[in-house]
A and B are shown apart, each in its own frame.
Chain A
């Protein structure tokens, strides 16, 4: 369970931005890859805790889940997987370990009120 420390990092990052712009943050947008090793529900519940007593208290964490995308050598194209348990091209079946997307853990945007 490392979601609390990640939630605290997210809050710190957002707070830095808020201070630099003298703005109030109402929501944090996060890209969360399915291979990031982070559980969405746990992160959401930790976010509330991490915000307590900070200027971000009451803000929302909006998570966009990013599916796993591999590069298929045979198709010469990126392909989105429907599962993290089967690393093969959904079109031609060629196995691939070349992960293009799915490891993201990124604050993508902030909703601010200036």
Chain B
């Protein structure tokens, strides 16, 4: 038997996902769709927050949502109350969404032209961090009931996200939420991260968030126009 020899290859293990995600991002960009994904632990309030946002956005622009869960269509049913087109992706036992699932879900889905697409990932603060979905903005949500040290426990997901949203602010006093500590913990794992404090129930912070994504979309659209010209 010959001695083994070392062959350099340098191949990204996620290249297939990254390839599909890049194609999605290009396509969404060309179509003027601004894509926002949501990640959090189960029960942090992604669906409640998104239902609120979809309801408000649906009144003024074209918006749709994809929602990932291991099983059930419960979240799609909840989100559909916003009147926006909603599609459930059931992943079976898979703990995260991948770009190919987004691609498949979009195929033949007659949403018409969109301004915003929201993608609610499976509730999980670990696995989704590795998978690019072709989104423009990735939001990580944490609720006041989860503890201020969530960012320290899951630094990778906070680092892969662009925006942090602290949810259920209406419960902050009841659970003695230490807002300063939570914000400081986000800041150490992702310096300069944009942070929103919201309550879907009381409406706190919702309009700030709406302004923010509208502005981000406007920036993305103008960059797209510049690139084309």
Contact = CB atoms under 8 A, between A and B. Distances in A.
Contacts of A38: 130
The SS class assigned to the B binding surface is: mixed
10 contacts: A1-B95, A6-B14, A9-B14, A13-B13, A35-B156, A86-B189, A95-B187, A108-B8, A111-B7, A114-B2
A110 B95 contact: no
Contacts of B10: 106-108
Nearest to A17: B9
Interface string B10-33: 111110100000000000000000
A97 interface: yes
A84 B95 contact: no
B5 A85 contact: no
Interface of B: 1-14, 16, 94-96, 126-127, 129-130, 152, 155-157, 159-160, 187-193
A105 interface: yes
A42 to B, nearest CB: 10
| Size bin of chain A's contact surface | 35 or more
Given A36-B130, A37-B130, A109 B7 contact: yes
A19 B9 CA distance: 14
B157 A86 contact: no
B10 to A, nearest CB: 6
A21 to B, nearest CB: 8
Contacts of A13: 9, 11, 13
Contacts of B152: 85
B41 to A, nearest CB: 15
Nearest to A108: B10
A85 B150 CA distance: 11
Among A27, A37, A88, find the residue whose CB has the most chain B CB atoms closer than 10 A: A37
B79 to A, nearest CB: 25
